[in-house]
Each structure stands twice: as C-alpha cells, then as structure tokens.
Structure 1
Amino acid sequence: MSHFAIVAPPLYSHAVALHALALEMAQRGHRVTFLTGNVASLAEQETERVAFYPLPASVQQAQRNVQQQSNGNLLRLIAAMSSLTDVLCQQLPAILQRLAVDALIVDEMEPAGSLVAEALGLPFISIACALPVNREPGLPLPVMPFHYAEDKRALRRFQVSERIYDALMYPHGQTILRHAQRFGLPERRRLDECLSPLAQISQSVPALDFPRRALPNCFHYVGALRYQPPPQVERSPRSTPRIFASLGTLQGHRLRLFQKIARACASVGAEVTIAHCDGLTPAQADSLYACGATEVVSFVDQPRYVAEANLVITHGGLNTVLDALAAATPVLAVPLSFDQPAVAARLVYNGLGRRVSRFARQQTLADEIAQLLGDETLHQRLATARQQLNDAGGTPRAATLIEQAIAGSESVS
C-alpha cells in the first residue's frame, strides 16, 4: 500500500472533496497525509490512515493570507496565491522527504505540489475540484463568464480575455517559472502547464462543460467527489414550491443579497431555506425572516436539502451545482467570484438552469425564479445530467485511476 500526500489551496470546498477522496484511499489500505490549511473541522476526523500534517508557521501564514483575500481585491489575491506557491516550493521538499511519501495528489489550483513532485521524481495526480484548467483553442478560460460560441467575434473575445488573464496572473506565473528553473525543470508559467502526465481527474462531467475536442487521454471526468452517495429522495408534489439558497462558505456574509433572495422567493409564493455558512450574525440571520425566509440556518445536510427542493439558488460553486445535478434539481446561479461565472455559463449552455446578476433587481430575480419553477422542459436535461453523474464513477473511480497511474507510473487513458 502507498503513502499519498495531498497538496491543495486553503479553500474549504476543495478540502471537503479531497477529504472524501482521502477516505476512499484509506478504505483501500493506503495512507494519506493532508498538507493544506483551513481544514480544522476535517482534522477532527483524523484517523490512523488519514492525517493532517502540522505545517510550518510560514506556510500557515501564507494560507491565511489567501483565505483573507478570497473575498477581496483580485490583485491582492493573486499576490497572496503567489506567496503561498513560493513558500510551499521552499518547504515541501523537506516535508515530503520526512514523510517518505510515495506519490502526491495535487489540486490543480496549487502548482507547488506538481513542481515539487516532479523535482523529487515522485509521481503525482492532478485533481480539478473546480472547473478544469485545461486550455483549448476556441473555448473561454474556466474563470471567464462567456457563453460558448464559434463566431469570429466570440473567438476574438476569448483570445483577448486570455491575454488579460495571463497579464493579471503574471506575478504567479513568475513564481512558477522561478521555481521550475530552480528545480531544473522545463519552463512553465501557467496552471495548465503544471498538470500531471499520468492522470488528470475532474469533478465535473461533460453535461456541465462546453464541447471539448482537445483533452489529453489521461483526462477523466469522474463526477462529484463524495464519500457518501447522494440521498435518494422522492420529491413529493406540493402546492408551495420549496427553494434552497446558499452562497457557499466564502460568500455567506452577503446579507443584502440574501434579503433580496428571500423577498423574491416570497413574492412568487415559495418557501426558502437559507444556509449562510456562519457568515451572518444571529441578528442578521433573524432579519431574513422578516424578508420572507422560511428557515435560516448556518449549515445543513446540503445534499438532502437540495434533493428535496424544487429549485436551488446558489453562487455557482461547483460543489453545490453538482449536488443539484445529482438530485436533478434546477439551478438559478448568482455568480460572485472565482470560477462561478464560468460554471453559470456552462449551466445555461447545457439547459440545466439560468443565471442572474447579483446586482439584479428583486423583481428580475423573482421573474427568473418563477420561470425556472414553471419550466417543465428542464426535467429531461436534468435527468440526463444526473445519469451522467451516476455513470461517471465518482470517488471510487477516482481512487482506481490514481492506483492505476501510480502502479504503472504511466499515463492512464
């Protein structure tokens, strides 16, 4: 059996997905050690085979800086990401040698894991907890809000936005380049240039992507990384629609947006449960009842609530959207940051939901909710997407792909 280290950014949603994968690997007899922060609640679940390594103070501080900038200025966030990659590239070699790991499981959003693995001659697997970073001519980057199109104007827009993105990411690219040179590796500057040649595993499925024509043979859609299967809930007919609303773990502080959502749901005669993920004070949470909310909570059993709902209103985080597709529940996306605008664009393209600006008026939001609740044509497309998720294999298939890649140290197609 092998000892794996997991390297990932300090983002809770990524850690949850990777923790599910770690538990699956442990069940198969492997050992897994997390080298990431912001997993305090997960660390409480430490077992004999799933451990959380105490990181040096410099790494912890760099991870806190990324967390603090996740809702702030984009340039400061990029600077924080660059600093984290820098300190990880300095600290990881000694840590990995001390742990005597056999291979790495690396989140695509943190290139330090792949750089250090390659420098040490260790096999590594890339995991896309968000939209995959693989680039392809004719497609917008997975952080851009653009819809799929093939006309010249759209293609030009994709190209220009890619150049702008790379310019913004220049500090991070220089950090990647500097450490690649220091380790004696071929030059690289971008996240997609740091992907594993053995296996690239995505939480997504084709039903939640734009048409792909140039993915490598080692790329695999496996669907949601969950340790428990999605709940099998029969959505019983009801006269009053039920809506579940969440803006994720990083955006739960947006009181005014929650108030607008509550009023919009009430105006169309729907019940709404709002999960703010500890982002609101008790007084702020209570204020949502006056706006029409039926239930306001910090955290819930999200897969079950999503499965019982007639509609999910979300920021467009991939984990929440995958929960909705697993339950064949339509989605109204209100994208806020990161890859959320891109997830929303893919939802709309595949006919699985709609998107609305966070700046939209209450009436506009209510109109979108009413349209989705009354759209019977959605159900077949949602059923197809759910079947694709079920067939993709999820966490067990991801674990099998990792085992195959490590066993042969060659690309798994």
Structure 2
Amino acid sequence: MHFGLVCPPFPSHARAFEALALALAQRGHRSTFLMNAGCGEMVRAGPWDVREAGLGAAPRPTARAGSTGLFGILRTVAESAERTQGLVSGGVAVLREAGVEALVGDQMEPATGLLATHLGLPFVSLASALPIDPDAALPPPYLDWPFDDSVDGLKRNRGGRYVAGLLMRRQAETIRRCALSLGLQPLGGLEDWLSPLGTISQTLPAFDFPYGGARRILGVGPLRSPGEGQAPLPFAPDPARPLVFASLGTLQGHRVGLFRVIAEACRRLDLGLVVAHCGRLTAREAATIDADLVTDFLPQRTMLRAASVCVTHGGLNTALDAMEAGVPALAIPIAYDQPGVAARLVHHGAGLKLSRRRLTPDAVEGALVRLLGEAEFCSEAAAIGAAIGEAGGATRAAETVEAWVTHALATTWPPLAREVA
C-alpha cells in the first residue's frame, strides 16, 4: 500500500513520521511525505519520497514560533492557518500524481482530513503532540490545569475551550474556506477533521490523563527510528556528582536567561549540568551559562540514561525520553502543549513544574532538591518507562495503521459523504 504522510514542519514531528515510515517500509508499504513548500528538506533521507505543496515558500515556524502572550499566540495561529492553506491548495494534485492510497496525518494539520475526504481516501490521525481528541473531562492540552472531572472542573474546561475557539478563529476560518474550495461541508475546527478511524498517539495511557471520550485512541509510546538518540556521549559524566540535563527543545533553545537560572541552582547544589540548546545560541551566549557542558545537540536518550534529573520545557518527546530512562523531570513550560505535558508529569508524580515567569534560582533549587531526594519521583518515572517499553512504538503504530486502513477499505469507507449538496 502507498501511504501519504502529512507532516507539519517541526523537527520532532518529522522524526516521529520518519520512524512510522520506516516501520511501514519494513511491512512492505511505500510512503510519500507531503510537506509545505520549502520545508521538504526537514525530512531526512530514507526509504520514502518527499513532495511539497503550496505556492511559494509556506511559513516555517519562525524564530518567534511558540512565543507567548496574545500577539504571539495569534501569530502562531496565523502561521498554522497559512500552512494549511498551502497544503490544501496544492496537495490534491500532488497526492493524485504520487498515487497514494491512504493518508496518515498529524492531528495539528487539518489539511489531512480535508484532502482525504475530497479524494475519498481512508486516513488515520497521528498525535505527535498531546492528543486533541475531544473529552469534556480533559482540559485543552495547552493549559496546565490538573485533571478534574467534577462539575466545576467540567465547567472550567468548557470555558477554556471557548476562549481557545476565539483565539483559533483565524484557523477555523481558513479550514472553512478550504473545505468550500474542495466542495466539502464547512465543518468547524481541528477536531472536526480528525480521522473517524482513530488516532495513533505517542502519549500512552500511563502518561496521560484518564480518557473517556468516544473516539478511538491507541497510545503506542514514542515513535523512534532504531538507534535514534542512542549514540555514545562525547564526554564522560562524573559518577560522583548527580547530573542534570537541561534542554528547551528545538524552538525554545534560545532562552539563555532560563538556562542561566538553572545553572545557578545547580551550582548551589554542586550538581553536574549539561545543556543542549539545539543550535539556538551563539557561542558568546553559550559561554555565559555556568555548566559543565553547553552544546547544540546530544544523543538525548543516551544522555538521559546518565542523568539524575531532566529539566525541560515540557516538550512531549523530551518528557517521554526522560520517562523511558526512569528520570524525573522538572518542567518549565513555554508554549504549545508544553503546559499540558507538565500537568501530566505532576499528575503521575513523575515530576514537578515551575512557571517560567519570574523563574528564580531558589525555585529551581527547591524543585531539584525534591526530585533528587524523594524516591517516589524516580519510581513513578520508572513505572511510566516500563509502560513505554511495552507499548510497541513505531512497529505497533505501523501494524495498527495497516489494520485500520485495510479494514476501512474492505468495509465502509468512506463512512459519510461530506460533499456540499
């Protein structure tokens, strides 16, 4: 079978889709990535094709991607809407020319559902980030609210979704225009264009809030290519000092001020500190961080096996890698679904969270003392890590995608006509 993979231009999402494509190839299937124009180079070479769609260079995440505050959120929403428009405007011809027979698309890219419905193709949703499948008891993933299925909690969640709908209006309007341009019913927002077959999620139940929604979600754990992030370390950790690994991800690694605060707390406690800024700092900026090592990239899974604590922005991939290694995490969320990841770390007792606003060395020091001194954090992280080891990862994801699509093609696809009468 020939799968089209609709992937947004974020490095962590591209790595997850590459792992799925490799697992599909091992099962005898072909894959073609559909990327925004100018973003195909983000996908590494492998047993797959890469096609681009859109007129001109569709926006990559900018240097200010994931910035906070009202204007930052609106800018991020506008960029996302423009990427969707680009994929829809050129994706029909690209997918037809490639001859794909089914799609797998990131939940955050509604172009997948739009294109698949127009072309009559079965498709599966992939939650590279926290799943957005609706459930009244779950707060929106971009909020750090705890799980609360009481009457008050459900009311608060409704309020959060209402405000989110206002902020996402630009994207909803783009989805509506795209649907009409394809001759489809103009449904609502992201959630309305998820696959009716189900969602494959990197967030496995052992790490998530309890899900009681009606949609099918299969949590398979991190989607990793063989050996991903497991190269040897370029240094020898000091076994006499607990080691802290700090990373703020590929989009937030420029926040040198946060790294300095973390470094000050580690120095007070005489902890080793390794910082990975993912290429977002200059050499001069990196030199201002008082750490044992400040570098661009490290093999993260190997690094975490040597660490005692992970300090993270709350990116899902980093959090799951920490759990896989049985390492508790201190989350300092910044944007996207990072607040929701932080809330899940706290919910399961596998980590702590701090606000990045007015972050102080005292606050970081106190959190590190707890994470290092209270054994429950390690045991809870290890329990989630054990579940990750049994979840199946990319292999199970590929098996499930194959099974869902094959069953759909043999039975009831397409489920309901969405064309405009």
- Does TM, normalized by the shorter one, top 0.5? yes
- Indicate conservation of the 8 Å contact 1:333/1:353, yes or no: yes
The one-character-per-residue Cα deviations of 1:285-314 (angstroms, maximum 9, x if unpaired) are: 1221xx2x0111100101100111000000
- Match 1:63 to one of 59, 63, 68: 59
Give the deviation of 1:380 after TM superposition.
2.6
Letter in 2 for 1:63: P
Aligned equivalents of 2:267 and 2:412: distance in 1? Answer: 52
Instruction: Note the residue ranges of structure 1 that are not aligned, 5 or more in a row.
Output: none
Query: Normalised by the size of structure 1, how large is the TM-score?
Result: 0.91
- Match 1:321 to one of 319, 322, 325: 319
Aligned equivalents of 2:99 and 2:42: distance in 1? Answer: 26
Letter in 2 for 1:92: G
Give the deviation of 1:404 after TM superposition.
0.8
Q: 1:156 to 1:105 in 2, by over 3 A?
A: same
Letter in 2 for 1:371: R
Work out whether 1:203 is the aligned partner of 2:202.
yes
Matched residue of 1:180: which SS?
Answer: helix
Residue 158 (structure 2) aligns with: 159
Correspondences of 1:6-405 after superposition (within 5 Å): 6-36=5-35, 38=39, 40=41, 42-43=43-44, 45=45, 47=46, 49-58=47-56, 61-64=57-60, 66-72=61-67, 73-216=72-215, 218-228=216-226, 238-288=239-289, 291=290, 293-359=291-357, 360-405=359-404
Give the deviation of 1:388 after TM superposition.
1.2
- Indicate conservation of the 8 Å contact 1:199/1:411, yes or no: no
Which moved further from structure 2: 250-259 or 20-29?
20-29
Give the deviation of 1:196 after TM superposition.
0.9
Query: Normalised by the size of structure 2, how large is the TM-score?
Result: 0.90
Matched residue of 2:187: which SS?
Answer: coil
- Indicate conservation of the 8 Å contact 2:20/2:394, yes or no: yes
Query: Moved runs in structure 1, 4+ residues, more than 6 A?
Result: none
Give the deviation of 1:190 after TM superposition.
1.7
Aligned equivalents of 2:43 and 2:159: distance in 1? Answer: 41
Q: 1:215 to 1:304 in 2, by over 3 A?
A: farther
Letter in 1 for 2:119: L
| Matched residue count | 399
Superposition CA RMSD, Å: 2.2
Give the deviation of 1:23 after TM superposition.
1.4
Matched residue of 2:153: which SS?
Answer: helix
Give the deviation of 1:377 after TM superposition.
1.5
Aligned equivalents of 1:187 and 1:307: distance in 2? Answer: 48
Aligned equivalents of 1:56 and 1:172: distance in 2? Answer: 17
Aligned equivalents of 2:58 and 2:251: distance in 1? Answer: 18
Q: 1:153 to 1:407 in 2, by over 3 A?
A: closer
Aligned equivalents of 2:180 and 2:307: distance in 1? Answer: 51
Give the deviation of 1:28 after TM superposition.
2.2
The one-character-per-residue Cα deviations of 1:205-233 (angstroms, maximum 9, x if unpaired) are: 112111111242x3211110001268699
Give the deviation of 1:55 after TM superposition.
4.0
Aligned equivalents of 1:54 and 1:107: distance in 2? Answer: 16
Give the deviation of 1:185 after TM superposition.
3.1
The one-character-per-residue Cα deviations of 1:177-223 (angstroms, maximum 9, x if unpaired) are: 2222333434421211111112310001112111111242x321111
Aligned equivalents of 1:159 and 1:405: distance in 2? Answer: 32
Letter in 1 for 2:189: R
- Indicate conservation of the 8 Å contact 2:53/2:86, yes or no: no
Aligned equivalents of 2:412 and 2:287: distance in 1? Answer: 53
The one-character-per-residue Cα deviations of 1:159-188 (angstroms, maximum 9, x if unpaired) are: 111100001111111121222233343442
